[in-house]
């Protein structure tokens, strides 16, 4: 099956025209033998390469290229099955481009449709729109420190469910900004399994009653500057005539301010809901309680949702950010969401951050708030120790 794989990377040394020609001459024997075609662009700092050929051969070649010490910050822009080659005449051709170049720099013997993906990608690179790599010099200047001792509270009495709490970390401010309460059963079941065992009104009633435990336990863990995030299914939000009043009373009973509670609703759930749901959300907001879109990016109508439903917080789904440091599609999506969030003044939380490389890329782009195993796992009836310290791009 014919595939086209595109990646970009940052050079680790200065490259002359002779150096670029050597890359071409070294690559030609393998490419010609294995029917690999493509193009390599270099702008003085960054590489952009297109590889075309048999899918397995292209992938194997890409893995080999990734080991080359002459470049770093390697991110796969895209990988697609294609019906024909864009560079079928070239086993490899290397082009030097200037920052800010446009379509006129393309060689006259290269014919690409101006409406096609490849034309847009080449000019996107040449005009500098992809230069988001964290250089080795910048990496050496990265430092962050978030230290927080583990905290435990007593199990909630006479209940077959408890809550685990996971912190949301602001690595710019160096502190925990909020906690998410995650329901757990006494036999270790997670939220989906617990709620899937219930139907209709029984499910909604249970969901609401369980939040009394979450808020009571969370209040023992929060300081006045922190907030508590809870999840409610849409049916539970419309189950009571005024769920905002119910939540407000729970907050008052436990000495919390309304703004310290964040109600998380998933993107997929919001899309499916009706007018009664949105009216209930407005009543909740009128009490001072904030609303977050959870798992943003997991549904199918994210942009239209942001246009019509202005949340107080956006939580970007882990499916978007896992491996983001080497995935061009995910980088572009995250940049767009972050730009929107900043323009609208909406805090963005990135979920599922598990590696230092993911965090480094995200913080370099300007993300401040993170949630994931890199910082702390959910802890039953408490907060796990947070011991996150980075200096020079390396964890200590």
Residue 309's pLDDT is what? 75
pLDDT (mean) for 177-196: 81
Residue 216 has pLDDT above 80, yes or no: yes
**Alpha-carbon distance 206 to 193, whole Å?**
13
- Most confidently predicted of 8-12, 117-121, 162-166: 162-166
| Percentage of the residues of the chain whose pLDDT score is greater than 90 | 53
Residue 95 has pLDDT above 80, yes or no: yes
* pLDDT tens digits, one per residue of 323-381: 998 888 888 889 888 988 888 889 999 999 999 999 999 998 899 999 999 999 999 99
Residue 51 has phi, psi (to 5 degrees) of -115, 130
Residue 188 has phi, psi (to 5 degrees) of 90, 10
Q: Which contacts of 202-206 are long-range, i.e. CB under 8 A and separated by 24 or more positions?
A: 203/233, 203/235, 203/236, 204/233, 204/235, 204/236, 204/239, 205/236, 205/239
Q: Quick one: CATH architecture of 2-133?
A: 2-Layer Sandwich (3.30)
Residue 43 has pLDDT above 80, yes or no: yes
According to DSSP, the residues that pair with 376 across neighbouring strands are none
| The two structure tokens encoding residue 128 | 């500098």
Residue 254 has pLDDT above 90, yes or no: yes
1-23 burial code (b ≥16 CB/10 A, e <16) = eebbbbbbbbbeeebeeeebeeb
| The two structure tokens encoding residue 249 | 């009373």
According to DSSP, the residues that pair with 46 across neighbouring strands are 10
Residue 200's pLDDT is what? 77
Residue 250's pLDDT is what? 97
Residue 233 has pLDDT above 90, yes or no: no
**Alpha-carbon distance 315 to 306, whole Å?**
12
Residue 332's pLDDT is what? 86
* pLDDT tens digits, one per residue of 79-89: 999 899 999 88
The Cα-based distances of 336 to 145, 159, 238, 331 in angstroms read 27, 43, 32, 9
pLDDT (mean) for 123-146: 79
Residue 369's pLDDT is what? 96
pLDDT (mean) for 304-328: 86
- CATH of the domain spanning 143-395: 3.20.20.450
**Where are the chain's structural domains?**
2-133, 143-395
Residue 194 has pLDDT above 80, yes or no: no
DSSP calls for 295-362 = EETSSS-HHHHHHH---SEEEE-HHHHTTGGGBHHHHHHHHHHHHHHHHHT--EEEE---SHHHHHHH
Q: Give the confidence band of 29 by pLDDT, cuts at 50, 70, 90.
A: very high
Residue 163 has pLDDT above 90, yes or no: yes
Residue 348's pLDDT is what? 94
Residue 196 has pLDDT above 90, yes or no: no
According to DSSP, the residues that pair with 143 across neighbouring strands are 391
Q: Give the confidence band of 273 by pLDDT, cuts at 50, 70, 90.
A: low
Q: Where are the alpha helices (DSSP H) in 44-168?
A: 55-66, 117-126, 136-140
Whether the CB-CB separation of 318 and 349 falls below 8 Å is answered with no
Residue 100 has pLDDT above 60, yes or no: no
Residue 109's pLDDT is what? 78
Whether the CB-CB separation of 269 and 236 falls below 8 Å is answered with no
Query: Over the chain, what is the mean pLDDT?
Result: 88
Q: Choose between 20 and 388: higher pLDDT.
A: 388
Residue 311's pLDDT is what? 87
* pTM for the structure as a whole: 0.81
Q: Give the confidence band of 276 by pLDDT, cuts at 50, 70, 90.
A: confident
Residue 249 burial (CB count, 10 A): 12
Q: Give the confidence band of 301 by pLDDT, cuts at 50, 70, 90.
A: low
Residue 130's pLDDT is what? 63
């Amino acid at each position: 099956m014919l595939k086209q794989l595109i990646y970009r990377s940052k050079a680790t040394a200065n490259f002359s025209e002779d150096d670029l020609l050597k890359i071409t001459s070294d690559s030609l024997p393998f490419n010609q033998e294995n029917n690999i075609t493509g193009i390599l662009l270099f702008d003085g700092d960054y590489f952009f390469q297109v590889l075309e050929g048999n899918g397995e051969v292209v992938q194997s070649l890409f893995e080999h290229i990734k080991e080359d010490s002459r470049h770093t910050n390697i991110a796969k822009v895209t990988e697609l099955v294609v019906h024909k080659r864009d560079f079928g005449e070239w086993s490899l051709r290397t082009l030097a481009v200037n920052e800010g170049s446009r379509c006129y720099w393309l060689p006259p013997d290269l014919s690409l449709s101006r409406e096609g993906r490849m034309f847009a990608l080449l000019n996107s690179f040449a005009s500098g729109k992809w230069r988001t790599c964290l250089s080795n010099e910048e990496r050496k200047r990265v430092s962050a420190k978030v230290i927080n001792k583990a905290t435990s509270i007593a199990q909630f009495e006479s209940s077959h469910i408890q809550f685990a709490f996971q912190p949301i970390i602001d690595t710019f401010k160096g502190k925990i900004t909020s906690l998410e309460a995650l329901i757990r059963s006494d036999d270790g079941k997670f939220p989906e399994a617990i709620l899937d065992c219930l139907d209709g009104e029984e499910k909604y009633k249970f969901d609401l009653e369980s939040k009394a435990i979450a808020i009571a336990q969370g209040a023992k863990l929060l300081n006045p500057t922190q907030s508590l995030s809870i999840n409610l299914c849409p049916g539970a939000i419309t189950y009571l005539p005024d769920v905002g009043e119910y939540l407000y009373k729970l907050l008052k009973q436990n000495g919390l301010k309304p703004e310290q509670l964040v109600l998380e609703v998933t993107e997929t759930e919001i899309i499916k809901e009706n007018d009664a749901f949105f009216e209930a959300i407005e009543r909740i907001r009128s009490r001072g309680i904030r609303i977050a879109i959870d798992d943003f990016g997991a549904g199918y109508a994210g942009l239209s949702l942001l246009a019509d439903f202005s949340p107080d917080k956006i939580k970007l789904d882990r499916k978007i950010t896992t491996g983001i440091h080497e995935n061009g599609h995910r980088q572009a999506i995250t940049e767009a969401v972050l730009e929107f969030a900043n323009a609208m003044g909406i805090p963005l939380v990135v979920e599922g951050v598990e590696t230092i490389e993911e965090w480094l890329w995200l913080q370099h782009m300007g993300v401040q708030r993170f949630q994931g195993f890199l910082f702390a796992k959910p802890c039953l009836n408490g907060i796990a120790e947070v011991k996150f310290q980075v200096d020079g791009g390396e964890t200590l």
